[in-house]
């Protein structure tokens, strides 16, 4: 699987925007970029995914570089509930069923009140 690189940790003030970067320089043309987050004492939670175009949903926005070698997850107004570990994942599809997720260590986001 193509690898991703994320900062170990980031801090943000509450109610300010947060930009979480991810580098994936070896991404292939068919790799989708997925983001999941894991709140303390919970299982991971799907956030957003994309292929080439920028994507928006109720939780976040995903900005993908034109060469697809990097992407940025944008939380428009951080809340205390957004404090979590954020994982950037390139999905590998292997046939019938669903895809497997290859998690790295992610970025631990702290939100300061």
Partner 1 sequence: DAGVTQSPTHLIKTRGQQVTLRCSPKSGHDTVSWYQQALGQGPQFIFQYYEEEERQRGNFPDRFSGHQFPNYSSELNVNALLLGDSALYLCASSRGEGQGYGFNQPQHFGDGTRLSIL
Indicate which single residue of 16, 65, 99, 112 sits in contact with partner 1 (rule: CB under 8 A): 99
40 vs 113, beta carbon nearer partner 1: 40
Report whether 20 contacts 10 (CB < 8 A). Answer: yes
Q: How many CA atoms lie within 13 A of 73 on its CB side?
A: 30
**66 C-beta neighbours (distance < 10 Å), count:** 7
Query: Is there binding between residue 87 and partner 1 (CB under 8 A)?
Result: yes
Which strand (E) or helix (H) includes residue 67? none
Work out how close the CB of 46 gets to partner 1 at its nearest, in angstroms, rounded to a whole number: 4
- String of contacts with partner 1 for each residue 23-52, x by CB under 8 A: ---------x-x-x----xxxxxx--x---
CA–CA separation, 50 and 112 (whole Å): 29
Residues that bind partner 1 (CB under 8 A): 32, 34, 36, 41-46, 49, 85, 87, 91, 93-106
């Amino acid at each position: 699987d193509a690898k991703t690189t994320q900062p170990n940790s980031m801090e943000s003030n509450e109610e300010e925007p947060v930009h979480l970067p991810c580098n994936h320089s070896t991404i292939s043309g068919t790799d989708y970029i997925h983001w999941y987050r894991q709140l303390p004492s919970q299982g991971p939670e799907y956030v957003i995914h994309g292929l080439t175009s920028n994507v928006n949903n109720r939780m976040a926005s995903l900005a993908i570089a034109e060469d697809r070698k990097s992407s940025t997850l944008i939380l428009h107004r951080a809340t205390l509930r957004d404090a979590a570990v954020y994982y950037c994942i390139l999905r590998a599809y292997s046939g019938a069923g669903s895809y497997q997720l290859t998690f790295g260590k992610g970025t631990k986001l702290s939100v300061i009140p």
